[in-house]
Amino acid sequence: MDGGTGTKTRLWRWRSNPLRRRDDIVEAWIVLIVWAVVLVGGTLIGLVTAHAADEVFDRQREERHAARGVLVADVPAPAVWADPASGRALAKIRWTTPDGRTQTGKTLVSTGQKAGAEVVVWLDSHGDLVPEPPGATAAAVEAGILGTAGALGLAGAAFGAGALARWRLDRRRYDRWGREWDLVGPQWAHKTG
């Protein structure tokens, strides 16, 4: 098949043709709009989502700071709430806020440590425990994943809406064909029977 014939086959709904129905043109517009939304909208949503996530991660790195905390109790190696892959467990710690208050809370620390051991904790501007902010590389990867997820979500919604619209068009065509057959079918049956 040469390039010209393939193009004509793919664009048949746009060509002038006595058999072309109004629904064929509507369906062609639906397909065109869905692809435009997927390509343009997906790109925009992906970029905006990735940029917004990157800003959030930058703000977290600016607002959070590392501080020294002290373990209140021993952290045995086989801890109940341990994450075996990382060798960390949830433990109670005590730390001093920037304004001098002493607070206690729980955070993940390396297992096998004894009470009184110093650990690094992450605090927000109020002196409350927060998770460690992602590094620049991890933040970029996570922002990229979130942007991709946003783009894929929009693409899925666009394809779903397009499929629903095309299904409705098909239902309308089947109903129309059924009504036309009800009119023409008895005439054919009479001639062939």
Assign 55 a pLDDT band (cuts: 50, 70, 90). very high
User: pLDDT tens digits for 161-178?
Assistant: 999 999 999 999 888 888
**What is the structure's pLDDT at 14?**
59
Could you tell me how far CA 4 lies from the centroid of its own chain? Answer: 39
Cβ neighbors of 72 (< 8 A, separation 6 or more) are 91, 92, 93, 94, 104, 115
**What is the structure's pLDDT at 56?**
95
Query: What's the mean pLDDT in 38-65?
Result: 94
**What is the structure's pLDDT at 187?**
78
Q: Which three-class secondary structure state does DSSP give residue 54?
A: helix
Give me the residue label for tokens 């892959």: 85
**What is the structure's pLDDT at 96?**
85
**What is the structure's pLDDT at 23?**
81
Query: What's the mean pLDDT in 4-15?
Result: 57
Report which of residues 141 and 75 the model is more confident about.
141
**What is the structure's pLDDT at 79?**
46
pTM of the shown model: 0.67
Average pLDDT score over the chain: 84
Both tokens assigned to 161: 């809406």
Q: How many CB atoms lie within 10 A of CB 100?
A: 7
User: pLDDT tens digits for 84-137?
Assistant: 566 777 888 998 887 788 888 888 888 888 888 898 888 888 888 888 899 999
Closest CA to 105 of 80, 132, 127: 127
Assess contact for 162 and 31: CB atoms under 8 A.
yes
C-alpha separations of 151 from 18, 33, 62 in Å:
39, 16, 28
